[in-house]
Amino acid sequence: MEKFRKKSFSYSDVSDKDTGVKVSEVLELVVNHKSYDEFYRLLEIDKIKDDFISIPGAKKLVETIRYINAKFVKFDLESTYNNLEFDTSDGLMITFKNIDDEEINELISSDEFTASPIYSAKSDFLSGLFSMEKYANKLMDSGYNDLVEYNLNEVKSIYENNDVRAKKYRILLDNDGNYFLRAITSNRYYDYNNNIAVFVGLITLHKEMLTSNNKFIVQRCEYNESYVRIYFESLEDKELPNVGYINNIIEVSNDEVKREAMRFSTVISLSYTSKEEQNISLFIKPQRTRSTILSIKHNELPKTAFEKLAMLVNYKEVQNELFEDLKRIGDIKKPDQIKHIIRNKINRARAGELKNSKNNILSELTTQVKTITELLELLNKIDLLTEDIDSKEYLRYIIYEALVYRK
Q: What is the pTM of this model?
A: 0.88
pLDDT confidence band for 42 (50 / 70 / 90): confident
CA angle (347, 338, 220) in 5-degree steps:
80
Q: Residue 359 pLDDT > 70, yes or no? A: yes
Low-confidence winner among 98-112, 219-233, 375-389 (lowest mean pLDDT): 375-389
Q: pLDDT of 226-277, one tens digit each?
A: 899 999 999 988 999 989 999 999 999 998 886 667 888 889 999 988 878 8
Among 35-49, 277-291, 322-336, 355-369, whose mean pLDDT is lowest? 277-291
Q: What is the pLDDT of residue 259?
A: 60
Q: Which pLDDT does position 2 carry in this prediction?
A: 66
Residue 260: its pLDDT value, please? 64
pLDDT at 111: 95
Tell me the backbone φ, ψ of residue 367, rounded to 5 degrees.
Answer: -70, 135
Percent of the chain with pLDDT over 70: 96
In tens, the pLDDT along 283-294 reads 998 887 778 888
- What is the mean predicted confidence (pLDDT) over 193-206? 92
pLDDT in tens, 113-144: 999 999 889 999 999 999 999 999 999 999 99
pLDDT score of 399 more than 80: yes
- At 27, the pLDDT band (50, 70, 90 cuts) reads very high
What is the model's pLDDT at position 213? 85
The pLDDT tens digits of the residues spanning 66-87 come to 999 999 999 999 999 999 999 9
pLDDT for position 310: 64
Alpha-carbon distances of 290 from 21, 264, 318, rounded to whole Å: 32, 12, 8
